[in-house]
Amino acid sequence: MSNNEETGKARLLLGRVKWFDPGKGFGFVIAEEGGPDILLHANVLRNFGQSSVADGAEVEIYVQETARGMQAVEVVHIRPPEEEAALPLEDVASISPEDLAKLPLEPARVKWFDKGKGFGFANVFGRAEDIFVHIEVLRRSGLADLQPGEAVGLRVVDGRRGRMAIEVAAWERAIRETE
């Protein structure tokens, strides 16, 4: 953040992700206080430790006015979008939210993820079996997409059809939680 402090122009604000397209490498945030859309570039998001962010997620960002308009220069915090009366996934309906939260974040790497199909697979480091990752789990975790080879943290349960992720976390968050 040192170069932001040097210019003195960056300011902290809250907003919601209007949309973010990892393929295009950018998206836009709408400030809580109103005003023009704020450009959120993929590099700024990557500096935070994520490659995508779910539409509707609440973000706390530093912004700066540029010749091209308002741009995010640093992401401070991301909160997943509020669930709209989302039904729990059938495989975890019998497990309490408290018990689910106690599951460890396991380090994993994305094998593949197809946003159009709504699912993909990852592998926990040191294990050969695939972990199923559903797009709804991704959205509830505040992410919009995953890239092959991306490092993530997963909370995993044994479902009826095998191991499945119930939460996906950015790698940096997974590291912080295990320290």
Q: 104 is written with which tokens? A: 């460890």
The set of residues, in sequence order, having a beta carbon less than 8 Å from that of 78 and lying 6+ positions away, is 48, 50, 53, 57, 58, 59, 60, 142
Q: 120 is written with which tokens? A: 């993909």
For 59: left if phi > 0, alpha if psi spans -120 to 50, otherwise beta; the answer is beta
Residue 50: φ, ψ to 5°: -125, 150
Cα–Cα distance between 13 and 29 in angstroms, integer?
11
Please give the CATH superfamily to which domain 90-178 belongs: Nucleic acid-binding proteins (2.40.50.140)
pLDDT, the chain, mean: 83
Q: What is the mean pLDDT of residues 132-147?
A: 88
The answer to whether the beta carbons of residues 107 and 124 sit under 8 Å apart is yes
The answer to whether the beta carbons of residues 54 and 142 sit under 8 Å apart is yes
Q: Please state which CATH class domain 7-79 belongs to.
A: mainly beta
What's residue 153's pLDDT? 92
Q: Which residue has the tokens 């997943």?
A: 80
What's residue 41's pLDDT? 94
What's residue 7's pLDDT? 45
From residue 176, give the alpha-carbon distance in Å to each of 43, 107, 140. 21, 12, 20
Q: What are the start and end residues of each CATH 2.40.50.140 domain in the chain?
A: 7-79, 90-178
